[in-house]
Chains A and B, each alone.
Chain A
Amino acid sequence: MPQWIRACATDDINPEDLIRFDHDGDTYAIYHAPDGRFYATAGRCTHEDVHLCDGLVMGHLIECPKHNGQFDYRTGEAKRSPVCVNLKTFPVKVEAGTVFIGLT
């Protein structure tokens, strides 16, 4: 069972954007998809040690700000080189305007 950690308020993230969330020495990216849903992934690109929080969200893709590699942040799937390794994803739930990330 994941431990649900409060990450942010829903209105902390604009639609089609993301923010950085740090917890217990690890860093994550929390996404607000254009359809209104929220998602969470590991914060750093799997290609180089670059945080995705400065990247560009286009639909359900996150583009790394350094080399333009892309992931589908819903599944973590690497979609465009130079990224080859998938991104780790985490469960998310929204309750009363708060976004929680599920960590094990």
Chain B
Amino acid sequence: MTAAPFPVGQRDYSLVGPDSRRAVEIGLASAEWYHSDVPRAVMKDLMKRTDGPAIRDTILWFALLIGGAWGGIYFWGTWACVPFLFVYSVIYGSSCDSRWHECGHGTAFRTPWMNDVIYQIASFMVMRNPVTWRWSHARHHTDTYIVGRDAEIAWMRPPKTLTNFLALFDVIGATRSLLILARNATGRLTPDEKDFVPESEWGKMILAARIHMAIYAATIAVALATWSWLPLMLIGLPRIYGSWHMVMCGHLQHAGLAENVLDHRLNTRTVYMNPISRYIYWNMNYHIEHHMFPMVPYHALPRLHEVIKADLPPPNLSILDGYREVFASLRRQKTDPEYYLRKTLPPSAKPYREEFHTLNIARSNT
């Protein structure tokens, strides 16, 4: 068994609880993280922004959405609508996440307004408040899988395997997202939201939630007026019946790996994937690379991987290979929440930053 880097005991994943205070006290919050060495000239080239790849991908994205929607409407009521709605739903309910993510970072396009437009559209599709999630994701990058600091920890320990895999068709997640938007639309914010979103942004949060809820209300009204499920199959429900690919890829990012460490090689996973999944996921399968260097656009991540892979644990060779590893680790965590999978680094890699963790243990014991 691999022991946790320092004792965590009973975890409190809220952002205003004892683990949050403890993370700040022992220096885990907003800390210095390990980065692989990349020459400045190489990194500048990797970070370079361009509109071309994202415009190409976005034209295809809209073509698939429009084509899928057209087929779904045209063949509605027959089995022929199924393949069209299958494509439409995955593009709507899964690729929305990666578009939200990359445009939220502002790296997909060189032109800022293009990032902003796609970010707003994708936020609506993925049922996320575009203001809240911009800030929660900033925190996820500052304090990746630091208990009590990171608002985006999907696999809390001990893991609730059944609940998380029921989320494959994201009924629970989508319902929760909708309820959060509904709450925000009434002007109510939770202590967690107030913790990571600056007060100057609260009004924008509420406005965004009201716009999203108004569109859903209009969709329901059209569905009732036409007495048809079709409007909801095109707006809203694809977030549930098309989210399986998003959830499948998302679980691979951090599940079964370490918490409360300052080295993304210990808490994040890179997985080789097929080209279709990489298109839907916008290369976020290179997830260690993304966390180490979030300024590198999605289209440059394969090149970044080649530059630093000698310093990283070996990637998983496929989605299936990744899930074998995830399941094995989660099984252990069910009975031993302190367990995490610690991958062996290649001889060419610099060692894990033990001194960060040792320092924190020493601090926590004083």
Q: Are A67 and B142 in contact (CB under 8 A)?
A: yes
B189 contacts A by Cβ under 8 Å: no
Write out the residue numbers on chain A whose beta carbons fall within 8 Å of the beta carbon of B106.
Answer: 63, 68, 70, 80
Say whether B316 faces chain A, with CB atoms less than 8 Å apart.
no
Contact-residue size bin, chain B (C-beta under 8 Å from the other chain): 20 to 34
A-B contacts counted at CB < 8 A amount to 42
A contacts with B, residue count (CB < 8 A)? 18
B44 contacts across to A, CB distance below 8 A? 17, 56
Let me know if A63 and B135 touch, CB within 8 A. no
B295, A55: Cβ atoms closer than 8 Å = yes
Known contacts: A48-B30, A56-B44, A66-B141. The answer to whether A82 contacts B294 by CB under 8 A is no
Question: Which residues of A in the span 61-83 have a Cβ within 8 Å of any Cβ on B?
Answer: 63, 65-68, 70, 80-82
Q: How would residues 63 to 92 of chain B score, 1 for a CB under 8 Å from any chain A CB and 0 otherwise?
A: 000000000000000000000000000000
Chain B residues 104 to 163 lying within 8 A of chain A, measured CB to CB, are 105-107, 110, 112, 134-135, 138, 141-142
B299 to chain A, nearest CB (A): 15
List residues of chain A with CB within 8 A of the CB of B30: 48-49
A11 to B138, CA, bound (A): 35
B46-63 contact mask (Cβ, 8 Å, vs A): 1 or 0: 010100000000000000
Residue in A58, A67, A70 whose CB lies within 8 Å of B138: A67
B191 at the interface (CB under 8 A from A): no
Compute how far the CA of A78 lies from the CA of B61 in the bound complex, rounded to whole angstroms.
Answer: 32
* Contact, CB under 8 Å: B135 / A82: yes
What CA separation (Å) do A34 and B322 show in the bound complex?
45
A84 within 8 A of B: yes
In the complex, the answer to whether B112 meets A65 with C-beta atoms within 8 Å is no
- The distance from the CB of A2 to the nearest CB of chain B, in whole angstroms, is 29
- Per the bound structure, the CA–CA distance linking A54 and B293 in Å amounts to 10
B190 lies within 8 A of chain A by Cβ: no
Task: State in angstroms the CA–CA spacing of A58 and B44 once bound together.
Answer: 11
Chain B contacts for A63, CB-based, 8 A: 106, 295
Residues in B with CB closer than 8 Å to A84 are: 198, 200
Q: How far is the CA of A68 from the CA of B58 in the complex (A)?
A: 22
Q: Which residues of B have CB within 8 Å of A65?
A: 293-295
A48 touches B142 (CB 8 A): yes
Between A and B, 16 residue pairs with Cβ closer than 8 Å are: A17-B44, A48-B30, A48-B142, A55-B295, A56-B44, A63-B295, A65-B293, A65-B295, A66-B141, A66-B142, A67-B141, A68-B295, A80-B112, A82-B134, A84-B198, A84-B200
Residues of A in contact with B (beta carbons under 8 Å apart): 17, 47-49, 54-56, 58, 63, 65-68, 70, 80-82, 84
- Besides A48-B142, A68-B294, 6 new A-B residue pairs in contact (Cβ under 8 A), listed by A number: A17-B40, A58-B110, A67-B141, A67-B142, A68-B295, A80-B112
10 A-B pairs closest in CB distance: A82-B138, A67-B138, A56-B47, A68-B106, A68-B105, A48-B30, A65-B295, A48-B142, A56-B295, A49-B30
